[in-house]
């Protein structure tokens, strides 16, 4: 019998990938030669779902119907609007996960039900729960949530000649993690981990966006950030310029007709030098090096004791990252495995291990946060109810179970509410709230009734709480209230139905064609649309305000149809635009 396949998914801020273990080796699955799925979801102007590159293509044209970097919102109770439709962050992530699951099913020709999904090491409990929830909505049982840097380590040799200490520096689109691991005799032991869930390549884009928009405003007196469409176009252009700056000393940002002033179109043309860009991002990179220092201190080793430095995440292609890291650690960094694919491959290795294959090292992972509760204690010289009492300290190997005894403070106390925090600050108020739990139905006893509270963190870093009243031995009801928990019990089946209906729109006739599959007639339509677009754009400046507005509207629609490769749509808008162009050229 063929054993079960557990797919590995890197659910990235910018890009996502799916991998499996085949013939004992991890392999990222590609379709039409494309392994990377941009983590972008959108709804096109006909209400159909777009995922990946087609959604990315419409980002600049229809930012109100498109969402990127959803990973940054995971675990938050926010509503994401895509046109008329409303989603939770986990629903948007579910769309990406389901697209990857279906890709893997097509490539392998098998139904797939189980996955390992990676998250930044520094994701907290709510963010991990949200990721697991997204998996469930995508029809997947998430058998393990795995930290990204840990996944990357699983792709390296688990049997080095001597014990090795690895440092993984993982800088993706939205998050930064650093982990230290000891590898010996087929066992990978994570020793410490640090990071910042709000720091990544997206922030570099943001700095460049401001740099370019400030320059444009100084020259033309127009702030491009005020128009959602112009802002989205500049953002896309600076992201591409940023990538070019990894290879070249200078990059030019160029966008035609990005704005207008006094009825005249304005073009954006700006040169960015690598040295200027490096000045912008230096403070952010200094923050990452601060995390590296803390991870080294936690593992109790010096920079000199690190044997190998591994880079993970697209943003580590930035030359300054490598340079600063080599200066700090005094050794060259490794890049044998593609930084964009290492995490998905590691997730597949973990999936293979969980499915019972001998494909990689035994993994001992850790919790990067301390988890505990608020208690009466001292904060500096003051007595305070906000003193943080950690129950599981950070860097404890997973899975782990720890308990503490608490006592009631009043006679006949029937219930107690305790808040769980995650973080390192002695003052709870500076840590992250994981949830509340309520111990109910206590026996009618005098103050001092003892309750044993047990925290269990599973291998995915997800918390379960139980409480036992010592006098009666009874296990008491514990309710963790968090946004995700409420979502799970009340809305999951609704969400599944809604997603099912939205996915059905993808299979409508006229849906996008994958890149590289354009038919001859479509190519022809696109070419003539581009020629007409150029002609029409030159007429905006002379047209009356009303005609100019109509022209701009039609040009945007045409761009969208071209980007989405909708042949019938292109031809119909082209017809309308032609009429207007002929009329304007005549007057």
Helix%, strand%, coil% for the chain, nearest 5: 40, 30, 30
Minimum Å distance from CB 313 to ligand AMP?
4
Give the full edge-to-edge strand order of the sheet including 432-439. Answer: 382-392, 371-379, 416-422, 432-439
Window 14-43: contact mask with ligand AMP (x via CB under 6 A): xx----------------------------
Distance separating alpha carbons of residues 574 and 534, to the nearest angstrom: 12
Q: Which helix (H) or strand (E) element contains residue 209? A: helix 201-220
Looking up tokens 């006229």 gives 510
Q: Strand pairing of 187-196 and 362-364?
A: parallel
- Is 436 a binding residue for ligand AMP by CB under 6 A? The answer is no
Can residue 149 be called a binding residue for ligand AMP (CB under 6 A)? no
The reply to whether 233 sits near ligand AMP by the rule CB under 6 A is no
Nearer CB in complex with ligand AMP: 4/239:
239
Site string for ligand AMP, 245-284 (x = CB under 6 A): -x--------------------------------------
Scanning 10-18, 126-134, 344-352, 394-402 for contacts with ligand AMP by CB under 6 A, the matching segment is: 10-18
Residue 417: which residues within 8 A CB-CB, separation 6 or more? 436, 437, 438, 439
Q: Considering the complex, state which of residue 38 and residue 390 has its C-beta at the smaller distance from ligand AMP.
A: 38
Q: Which of 129, 155, 318, 350 binds ligand AMP (CB under 6 A)?
A: 318
Count the residues of the shown chain that bind ligand AMP, applying the rule CB under 6 A.
Answer: 19
Write out the binding residues for ligand AMP, residues 170-229 only, by CB under 6 A: 172-173, 200-202
Q: Does 243 engage in binding with ligand AMP (CB under 6 A)?
A: yes
Interacting positions 153-172 with ligand AMP (CB under 6 A): 172
Nearer to ligand AMP, 149 or 361 (CB): 149
Alpha helices in 273-424 (DSSP H): 274-299, 319-329, 342-354
Give the count of beta carbons closer than 10 Å to the beta carbon of residue 105: 16
Q: Tell me the residue length of the chain.
A: 587
Q: Which residue is nearest to ligand AMP (CB)?
A: 201
Cα gap 85→210, rounded to integer Å: 30
Range 288-317, binding ligand AMP (CB under 6 A)? 313-315, 317
Do the beta carbons of residue 289 and residue 324 sit within 8 Å? yes
Instruction: CB nearer to ligand AMP: give 14 or 482.
Output: 14
Our CA angle for 462, 466, 467, nearest 5°, is 150
Closer to ligand AMP by Cβ: residue 155 or 246: 246
From the list 13-21, 186-194, 425-433, 440-448, the region that binds ligand AMP by CB under 6 A is 13-21
Q: Binder to ligand AMP among 27, 189, 210, 239 (CB under 6 A)? A: 239
Which residues touch 178 (CB under 8 Å, ≥6 apart)? 149, 167, 168, 169, 170, 193, 194, 195, 288, 291, 292, 295
SS (H, E, C) 57-117: HHCCCCHHHEEECHHHHCCCCCCEEECCEEECHHHHHHHHHHHHHHHHHHHHCCCCCEEEE
Task: Give yes or no for residue 120 binding ligand AMP (CB under 6 A).
Answer: no
Q: Which residues bind ligand AMP (CB under 6 A)?
A: 12-15, 172-173, 200-202, 239, 242-243, 246, 313-315, 317-318, 340
């Amino acid at each position: 019998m063929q054993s079960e396949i557990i797919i590995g998914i890197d659910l990235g801020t910018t890009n996502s990938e799916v991998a499996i273990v085949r013939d004992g080796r991890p392999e990222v699955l590609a379709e039409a030669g494309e392994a990377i799925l941009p983590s972008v979801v959108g709804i096109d102007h006909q209400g159909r779902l777009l995922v990946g590159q087609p959604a990315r293509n419409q980002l600049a044209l229809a930012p109100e119907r498109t969402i990127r970097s959803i990973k940054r919102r995971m675990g938050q109770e926010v509503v994401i609007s895509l046109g008329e439709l409303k989603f939770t962050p986990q629903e948007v992530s579910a769309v990406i996960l389901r697209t990857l699951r279906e890709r893997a099913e097509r490539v392998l020709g098998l139904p797939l039900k189980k996955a390992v999904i990676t998250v930044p090491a520094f994701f907290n409990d709510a963010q991990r729960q949200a990721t697991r929830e997204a998996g469930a909505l995508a029809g997947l049982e998430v058998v393990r949530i795995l930290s990204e840097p840990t996944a990357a380590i699983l792709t390296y040799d688990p049997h080095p000649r001597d014990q090795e200490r690895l440092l993984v520096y993982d800088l993706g689109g939205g998050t930064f993690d650093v982990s230290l691991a000891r590898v010996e005799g087929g066992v990978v032991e994570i020793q410490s981990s640090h990071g910042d869930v709000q720091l990544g390549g997206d922030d570099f884009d943001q700095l460049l966006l401001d740099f370019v928009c400030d320059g444009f405003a100084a020259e033309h007196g127009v702030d491009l950030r005020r128009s959602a469409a112009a802002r989205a176009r500049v953002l896309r252009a600076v992201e591409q310029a940023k990538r070019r700056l990894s290879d070249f000393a200078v990059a030019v940002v160029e966008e035609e007709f990005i704005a207008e002033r006094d009825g005249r179109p304005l073009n954006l043309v700006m040169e960015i030098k690598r040295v200027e860009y490096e000045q912008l991002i230096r403070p952010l990179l200094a923050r990452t090096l601060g995390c590296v220092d803390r991870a080294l201190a936690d593992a109790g080793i010096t920079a000199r004791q690190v044997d190998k430095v591994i880079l993970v995440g697209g943003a580590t292609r930035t030359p300054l990252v490598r340079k600063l890291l080599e200066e700090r650690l005094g050794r060259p960094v490794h890049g044998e495995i593609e930084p964009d694919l290492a995490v998905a491959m590691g997730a597949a290795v973990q999936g293979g291990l969980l499915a019972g294959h001998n494909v990689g090292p035994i993994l001992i992972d850790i919790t990067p946060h301390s988890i505990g509760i608020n208690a009466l204690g001292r904060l500096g010289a003051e007595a305070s109810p906000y003193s943080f009492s950690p129950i599981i300290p950070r860097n404890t190997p997973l899975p782990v179970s720890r308990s503490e005894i608490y006592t009631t403070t009043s006679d006949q106390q029937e219930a107690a509410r305790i808040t769980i925090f995650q973080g390192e600050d002695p003052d709870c108020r500076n840590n992250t709230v994981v949830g509340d739990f309520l111990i109910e139905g206590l026996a009618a006893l005098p103050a001092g009734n003892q309750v044993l509270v047990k925290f269990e963190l599973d291998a995915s870093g997800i918390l379960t709480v139980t409480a036992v009243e010592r006098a009666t031995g009874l296990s008491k009801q514990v309710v963790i209230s968090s946004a995700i928990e409420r979502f799970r019990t009340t809305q999951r089946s609704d969400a599944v139905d809604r997603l099912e209906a939205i996915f059905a729109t993808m299979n409508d006739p006229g849906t996008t064609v994958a890149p590289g599959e354009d038919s001859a007639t479509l190519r022809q339509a696109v070419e003539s649309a581009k020629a007409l677009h150029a002609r029409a754009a030159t007429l905006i400046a002379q047209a009356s305000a009303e005609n100019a507005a109509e022209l701009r509207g039609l040009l945007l629609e045409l761009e969208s149809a071209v980007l989405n490769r909708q042949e019938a749509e292109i031809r119909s808008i082209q017809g309308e635009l032609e009429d207007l162009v002929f009329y304007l050229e005549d007057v």
